[in-house]
Amino acid sequence: MDTVELHRRAVEAFDERVRAIGPGDWAAPTPCAGWDVRTLVNHLVNEDRWTVPLFEGRTIAEVGDRFDGDLLGEDPHRAWEEAAAEAVAAIAAPGTMERTTHLSFGDLPGHDYAMQLAADHLVHAWDLARAIGADEGLDPELVAETARWFERWEEGYRSAGATAARPALPDGADGQTQLLAAFGRAAAP
């Protein structure tokens, strides 16, 4: 599967869970330490807002603090939909995978940055599902592709503090359970 398609489908997985958020769910805790549902969705809206300028070649310093704080406002569903649509369009633009993106930790090829974003949407789709009691099942094809990509990044993420320690896996753990463990999550309730 190409990266553009993988990203689009990972965003759709998160979108499916966002659409299931009820009015009383926004303060529910998530598997992300210290984050409730609103904080989690705001995190993804923040990432999606950054996607456009970073794929246009801007630096972190050039973008500045314009995406700091609460980006959800009074209509969190709409804020999510708009940010997600803009990010998907930016990544699907011709030549995006060959561009260099200027991230906080250095320059990265567009392909790797898009994979990073796809992985975050996919894993956070599980986090959101767990928080609101929605279907936690992730697309096995997306799980396999993301796991393959993440193999070379896992130790870097962990040493940078971006993921928690890998929990112990049960015997015969499926691909989704293994991917979640790589991102520091225990799939068992």
Which CATH number do you get for residue 136? 1.20.120.450
pTM above 0.95, yes or no: no
* Predicted confidence band of residue 79 (pLDDT cuts 50, 70, 90): very high
Tell me which residue range forms the domain holding 21: 3-182
C-alpha–C-alpha distance, residues 107 and 148, integer Å: 21
Contacts of 181 (CB under 8 A, 6+ apart): 166, 167, 169, 173, 187
Residue keyed to tokens 């980006």: 71
For residue 97, being part of any structural domain is answered with yes
For residue 8, being part of any structural domain is answered with yes
For residue 104, being part of any structural domain is answered with yes
For residue 188, being part of any structural domain is answered with no
Q: What is the pLDDT of residues 115-153, one digit of tens each?
A: 999 999 999 999 999 999 999 999 999 999 999 999 998
For residue 187, being part of any structural domain is answered with no
Q: Extract the tokens encoding 67.
A: 């995406």
Percent of the chain with pLDDT over 70: 99
Q: Is 78 left (phi over 0), alpha (psi -120 to 50) or beta?
A: alpha
Answer for the pair 54, 86: CB distance below 8 angstroms, yes or no: no
Tally the domains of the chain.
1
